[in-house]
Structure 1
Amino acid sequence: MADEETVRELYEGCYRRLVGQVFAVCGNRGEAEDAVQEAFVRAVEKPRRFAQIDNQEAWLRTVALNVLRSRYRRATRFHGLLSRQPAPVTTTTGMSADRVALVDALRQLPYEQREAIALHHIVDLPIREIAAQLGVAEGTIKARLTRGRARLAPLVHEFADDAEEVNHV
């Protein structure tokens, strides 16, 4: 019973934060919620094993990102999404326009770059920890961050220009 209580407390303490972090990667609140819920389901399936994990929130985030990655691969294979332009993010209740614009810009990046940028700049994880969670070399994360920032800069700059025009009117 104590193991279930631990999972319940963790759910109440970090569910919203995890959904926000995963949302930054996928750009779809429903998918983010599903992925985080799937991570909690996997924790509940083996509560004693989950209780032995040192950083349970990091484990949940890793599982949720793996769920997203798996779904993304299946969707890419099934629908040929690599050549399509991503759909714009729709406004979500309680989200500012600049947050929606940032997520929309992130969705235009390749998944690996988007994932690295979200984990580093939104979740605020160090490169070493991102590399460990994703199972890749630190140099790979650095390259993804560099390339992702380079691709993201004009997209974010475009949004900033639009915002300045509105402020000057």
Structure 2
Amino acid sequence: MRETDCPDPVRKALLDDLDEGFAELYGAYRGLVFSTALRLSGRWADAEDLTAETFLRAYRALAGYERARIATLQPRAWLMTILMNIWRNCARTRSRKPPPELQDQPIEEADPAQDVEEAAVRRETGDELAGLLGLLPEEQRVAVVLRHVVDLPVSEIATVLRIPQGTVKSHVSRGLRRLRALGGAR
């Protein structure tokens, strides 16, 4: 079922009260935005920054939208578009600047309520997938992440990336084929 085929409680909440609606929008999509940002950037800190900036820009944009625009908003695709634009701008800026010196990464603290073995397996699998995704050409990595991590339909990915649907399908197919080959080579 597509997002526009069912009543969206987030959209309704945004129409009723922008601040409370935004809190619902954030709660509903923060994990998805962060996960996508992490897969795109490959770094936890960058993903946190991208996520924060995405929601900041989303709030600012919503404050200027008319009710009719909010009523037709597709939150997931809209947030992914904002994230992609920020990510591209950051990548463009980084390519113009010399890389900073490598600094020690902060150690992530474990959740004491989480099963340690399960967390370690999930982390290892996530790290391996992130590493493999990082080996894909950018257009394939982005298409695969949006299709199989974010679970956007091809039509929404085409809108987010501003490319034809056939090109999206091609990027996803080639990216998956390459991931399989890379996964088997390890």
Unaligned runs of 5+ in 2: 1-15, 100-105, 111-118
Query: Residue in 1 aligned with 2:166?
Result: 139
Query: Residue in 1 aligned with 2:77?
Result: 58
Query: Residue in 1 aligned with 2:90?
Result: 71
**Partners of 1:77 and 1:144 in 2: CA distance:** 27
The two structures, once aligned, show a CA RMSD in angstroms of 2.6
Conservation of the 8 A alpha-carbon contact between 1:131 and 1:137: yes
**Partners of 1:134 and 1:17 in 2: CA distance:** 17
Distance 1:97 1:6, change over 3 A: same
Query: Residue in 1 aligned with 2:102?
Result: none
Query: Residue in 2 aligned with 1:16?
Result: 31
Local SS of the residue matching 1:125: coil
Q: Deviations along 1:52-106, whole A, 9 cap, x unmatched? A: 15222321121012111111122234349xxxxxxxxx99665421111011110
Conservation of the 8 A alpha-carbon contact between 2:77 and 2:156: no
Conservation of the 8 A alpha-carbon contact between 1:62 and 1:133: yes
**Partners of 1:50 and 1:7 in 2: CA distance:** 15
Q: Deviations along 1:20-46, whole A, 9 cap, x unmatched? A: 122122222221221121121112224
TM-score relative to the length of structure 1: 0.76
Q: How many residues align?
A: 150
User: Which of 107-116 and 30-39 deviates more?
Assistant: 30-39
1:19-168 pair list within 5 angstroms: 19-46=34-61, 47-49=63-65, 52=70, 54-79=73-98, 94=119, 95-159=122-186
TM-score relative to the length of structure 2: 0.70
**Partners of 1:68 and 1:60 in 2: CA distance:** 12
Q: Deviations along 1:81-137, whole A, 9 cap, x unmatched? A: xxxxxxxxx996654211110111101112111000001111112212111111111
**Partners of 2:170 and 2:96 in 1: CA distance:** 25
Local SS of the residue matching 2:65: helix
Local SS of the residue matching 2:125: helix
**Partners of 1:91 and 1:102 in 2: CA distance:** 20
- Deviation, 1:50, is 7.8
Q: Which runs of 4+ in 1 moved over 3 A?
A: 77-80, 90-95
